[in-house]
Amino acid sequence: MFRSKNVLLVFVVLMMVSACAPAVATETVTTEEPTSVAQISTPEAAEAPVTEVAETAAFPVTIAHKYGETTITEKPERIVLVGLVEQDALLAFGVVPVATREWWGERPGAVFEWATDELGDAPLPEVLPANELNFEQIAALEPDVIVGLYAGITQEEYDTLAKIAPTVAQPAEYPDWGIPWQELTHKIGLIVGEAERADALIAEVEAQFTVAREAHPEFAGQTGIVASTWGYPDTYWVYSSKDPRSQFLLSLGFNSVPAFDEVIGNEFGATISREEIDMLNDVNVAIWFGTEEEMSDPLYQQLAISQQGRNIVIASEAPMAFAFSFNTVLSLPYVLDGLVPQLSVAVDGDPATVYTE
């Protein structure tokens, strides 16, 4: 089972975490009497008067996103996910979605090892295809609400989905596929009427980051990136510091590398050519999705980061690759247990120091 070794230490630092955890956007709910079971607010309707109330007020709840606002007037029973990782947050609340969306890994129901305990004996969700959305399939599921937070839903797709059921798309303030796990958990909590529980779940995982950060002061000030050999041998892929995978490193005390963010811009990542790989000379630690064979590229081997053993390679089909990419309230404890010891070995810059499980 996937369970964190840090659990016994979590409660010691929960109060500390609540003081330093990243701010989460406050939602608003209307005080007007709803005219239907579920109503959708358009961008124009977003200008209508609303009254801010405590987040603990369950319904109606209005959630802002990239294409306007969506109001949910009662707790949904049939939730269809068109994002890639929201099932973890739902399962953390004890809610099983009607449908999930395939990313990669082809697990039954798109439920991975770290979330199977939360699924229990419940029926597996139907899995939507990874590529184009099948609107007929989604409509046939008769959803009460459609959710795509860790997603890149287009305006056209949103307009079609919103005709099927109230739809919560990705937030406007982050790049597509760039919503932080805290914000995703918070919004899922609002959708299912569990805002206070969401805050508690976030605090529990933030506490584990605090434990790891305090146990490894050597991380502070080190630069780190997350990259992939996708495109090898011609190009590599580097994730933006705004991407959830990179945010994992920042939450442990690492610093981002501005030169890469300048290249990437407002996207969640970008390709760099083999000729640009010397940009990694400014990086203290790199986490790679790829294979040891791909990392044996002679150009990369010439870099200090390679010669000093300051890189971590995660096989793209390993459970750690899935958990790290999901970056959710359920997968992060597993990632912390697996990656923090490897990061500690990598930052010392001594190739003779080898991580052993």
Q: Which amino acid is at 217?
A: P
9 against 319, higher pLDDT: 319
Question: pLDDT at residue 56 above 70?
Answer: no
* Residue 353 pLDDT: 64
pTM exceeding 0.85? no
Q: What is the mean pLDDT of the chain?
A: 85
List of domains in the chain: 22-206 (3.40.50.1980), 216-346 (3.40.50.1980)
For residues 165 and 152, what is the distance between their CA atoms, to the nearest angstrom? 18
Q: How far apart are CA 79 and CA 68, in angstroms?
A: 20
What pLDDT score was predicted for residue 8? 36
Section 154-165 average pLDDT: 98
pLDDT band at 296 (very low <50, low <70, confident <90, very high): confident
* pLDDT tens-digit series, residues 132-146: 999 999 999 999 999
Q: Is residue 5 pLDDT above 60, yes or no? A: no
Of the pLDDT bands very low, low, confident and very high (cuts 50, 70, 90), residue 15 is very low
- Alpha helix (H) ranges present in the chain? 7-10, 14-20, 86-92, 116-119, 135-140, 155-164, 181-191, 195-215, 244-251, 258-264, 298-301, 304-307, 319-326, 332-346
- Rounded Cα distance, 113 and 88, in Å: 11
Tens digits of per-residue pLDDT, 187-246?
A: 999 999 999 999 999 999 999 999 999 999 999 999 999 999 988 888 999 999 999 999
- 151 — pLDDT class (breaks 50, 70, 90): very high
Residue whose tokens read 């004996």: 121
User: Which range has the worst mean pLDDT, 4-18, 75-89, 160-174?
Assistant: 4-18
Q: How confident is the model at residue 27 (pLDDT cuts 50, 70, 90)?
A: low
pLDDT tier at 354 (50, 70, 90 boundaries)? low
Does residue 59 surpass a pLDDT of 70?
yes
Mind listing the pLDDT tens digit for each residue in 74-121?
A: 999 999 999 999 999 999 999 999 999 999 889 999 999 999 999 999
Percent of the chain exceeding pLDDT 70 equals 82
Nearest to 237 by CA among 185, 286, 201: 286
Model confidence at 321, pLDDT cuts 50, 70, 90, reads very high
User: What average pLDDT does the segment 304-319 reach?
Assistant: 92
Q: Which residue has the tokens 């949103």?
A: 158
Q: Is the pLDDT of residue 335 over 80?
A: yes
pLDDT interval class at 281 (50, 70, 90): confident
Min mean pLDDT across 32-36, 123-127, 221-225 is at: 32-36
pLDDT at 287 over 90: yes
Instruction: Quickly state the pLDDT bin for 52 (edges 50, 70, 90).
Output: very low
Q: What is the pLDDT of residue 33?
A: 34
CA distance 216 to 224: 15
Q: Are 36 and 15 in contact (CB under 8 A)?
A: no
264 vs 40, higher pLDDT: 264
Q: Give CA angle at 327 (22, 267), nearest 5°.
A: 80
